[in-house]
């Protein structure tokens, strides 16, 4: 069923009309892409933690220790007919980085992050906003809408409690501890254990109010093409991600890894020079190429032999606070493979682990003083038609009941300089920290 609704002047205002329904999701192009996708009130929810998945259909709750990718696939099959819309029902949610530890057989003794390893809703309706056509449609597979949905869409929307920090922003590791971990990575590289390792810092603070109001501020100051807001009883995810992970449309696969960063400048000449320095940097190009090779291998696990190719190498893309070096790799799914088998074989994304991936993840697990939780996992939509789009959860905050976390990191290679890498993390986190600080504290 397809019903056209008025094209919204403000998609965030439209989302607020359904945001008090269970499990609301907003896949937000932030004015940089063609489509926005909004949904809520899924008919099934899946939440995995520590190898056990809770499956709820609103009436009954069951638990399973089966592979969560298998559970999700069973709920999506059989795939239904094609749609002219990018999403006409299916699964929307996130895979946390910690799920990748179990996929790669890496044990952890660290304190629980407090976040699910996987949280997905299965939605049989969605609002699809097409900014190119200036149209919006309510799309459904079953005509099972929440009660009074149309009345909601013409209402004023809910009132939000303003987001406020209730204490200082604390970060780990500090410079001294970061420097020690940096030195250990350099030693591992010199010993031939790895070529690159992504090392991160975590910023965390207590808060009160509604994380949605913080997200609205973030999308104004730091718009990104793979932005998203997801909320469920376990957590809220506020993402301003610039990075696509994996996209599948009718069997064609695309990934766009990011490696290489420079800050933006308000001075146009200096800004252009910063972008040029990124493009010409031998270190950043080498770092990017390592991840391109890793992802070519990851795509090859699920793609037809000979179809994986590098479409673009070392493109400079421009975002609100940084320039990024981005490459594009494509392929075609092999017979018997699908979007979920592709994602499982490539998860977590190589751009936020290092190379080789498993050894880099072992080193991250050894050196970072926290569990990553959602950070560096993936937000994904997987349609009943088999198509998928997903992002890497960088430039992302995750809120539990009383605390909110932000992570930022960078790849360490043989030529990396300690102060430069530490400063780069600051560039990446700067805009989001600014949004947090303006809500009531400084770091």
Active site residue 266: no
414 membership: H or E segment, kind and range: none
Report the candidate in 45, 64, 53, 56 with the shortest Cα–Cα distance to residue 99: 53
Distance CA 263, CA 243 (A): 17
Q: Which two tokens stand for residue 202?
A: 């975590």
**CB half-sphere exposure, 362, CA atoms < 13 A:** 11
Contacts 24+ apart (CB under 8 A), 3-7: 3/137, 3/138, 4/135, 4/136, 4/137, 4/138, 5/127, 5/136, 5/137, 5/138, 5/153, 6/136, 7/129, 7/134, 7/135, 7/136
Active site residue 282: no
User: Could you check whether the bond before residue 37 is cis, i.e. omega within 30 degrees of 0?
Assistant: no
Q: Which of 17, 256, 259, 344 is catalytic?
A: 259
Distance CA 119, CA 100 (A): 14
The partner residues of 249 in beta bridges, in order of sequence, read 252
Sign of CA dihedral 366, 370, 371, 374: negative
Q: Which two tokens stand for residue 350?
A: 């190589």
Helix axis angle for 175-190 and 357-367, nearest 10°, is 150
Q: Which two tokens stand for residue 127?
A: 């609002």
Q: Which one-letter DSSP state was computed for residue 6?
A: P
Contacts 24+ apart (CB under 8 A), 124-128: 124/43, 124/89, 125/39, 125/89, 126/37, 126/38, 126/39, 126/87, 126/88, 126/89, 127/5, 127/14, 127/18, 127/37, 127/38, 127/39, 128/35, 128/36, 128/37, 128/85, 128/86, 128/87, 128/88
Q: Which of 16, 17, 49, 243 is catalytic?
A: 243
The β-bridge relationship of strands 226-231 and 236-241 is antiparallel
The partner residues of 391 in beta bridges, in order of sequence, read 244, 379
- For the chain, how many residues are written? 443
230: alpha, beta or left? (left if phi > 0; alpha if psi -120 to 50): beta
Name residues whose C-beta falls within 8 Å of residue 269's C-beta, 6 or more positions apart in sequence: none
Residues with catalytic roles: 243, 259
């Amino acid at each position: 069923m397809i019903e056209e609704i008025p094209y919204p002047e403000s998609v965030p205002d439209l989302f607020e009309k359904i945001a008090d329904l269970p499990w609301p999701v907003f896949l937000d192009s932030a004015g940089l892409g063609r489509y926005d996708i909004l949904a809520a009130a899924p008919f099934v929810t899946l939440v995995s933690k520590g190898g056990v998945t809770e499956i709820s259909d609103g009436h009954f709750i069951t638990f399973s220790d089966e592979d969560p990718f298998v559970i999700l696939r069973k709920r999506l099959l059989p795939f239904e007919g094609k749609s002219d819309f990018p999403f006409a029902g299916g699964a929307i949610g996130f895979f946390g980085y910690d799920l990748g530890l179990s996929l790669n057989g890496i044990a952890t003794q660290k304190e629980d992050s407090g976040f699910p390893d996987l949280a997905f809703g299965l939605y049989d309706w969605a609002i699809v906003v097409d900014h190119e056509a200036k149209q919006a449609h309510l799309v459904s597979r079953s005509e099972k809408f929440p009660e009074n949905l149309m009345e909601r869409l013409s209402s004023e929307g809910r009132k939000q409690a303003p987001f406020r920090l209730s204490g200082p922003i604390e970060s780990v590791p500090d410079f001294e501890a970061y420097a020690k971990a940096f030195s250990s990575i350099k030693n591992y590289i010199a010993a031939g254990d790895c070529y690159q390792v992504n090392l991160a810092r975590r910023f965390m603070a207590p808060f009160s109010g509604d994380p949605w109001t913080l997200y609205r501020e973030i999308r104004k100051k730091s718009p990104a093409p793979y932005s998203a807001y997801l909320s469920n009883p376990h957590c809220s995810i506020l993402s301003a991600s610039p990075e696509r992970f994996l996209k599948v449309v009718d069997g064609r696969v695309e990934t766009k890894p990011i490696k290489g960063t420079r800050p933006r400048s308000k001075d146009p000449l200096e800004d252009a020079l910063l972008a040029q320095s990124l493009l010409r940097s031998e270190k950043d190009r080498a770092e990017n190429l390592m991840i391109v090779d890793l992802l070519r291998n990851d795509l090859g696990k699920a793609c037809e032999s000979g179809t994986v190719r590098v479409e673009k190498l070392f493109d400079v893309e421009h975002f609100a606070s940084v320039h990024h070096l981005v490459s594009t790799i494509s392929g075609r799914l092999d017979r018997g493979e699908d979007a979920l088998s592709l994602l499982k074989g490539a998860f977590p994304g190589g751009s936020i682990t290092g190379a080789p991936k498993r050894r880099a993840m072992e080193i991250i697990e050894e050196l970072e003083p926290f569990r990553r939780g959602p950070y560096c996992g993936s937000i994904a939509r997987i349609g009943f038609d088999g198509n998928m789009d997903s992002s890497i959860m960088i430039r992302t905050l995750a809120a539990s009941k009383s605390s909110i976390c932000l992570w930022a990191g960078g790849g360490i290679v043989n030529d990396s300089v300690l102060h430069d890498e530490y400063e780069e993390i600051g560039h990446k986190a700067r805009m989001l920290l600014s949004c947090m600080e303006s809500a009531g504290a400084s770091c």
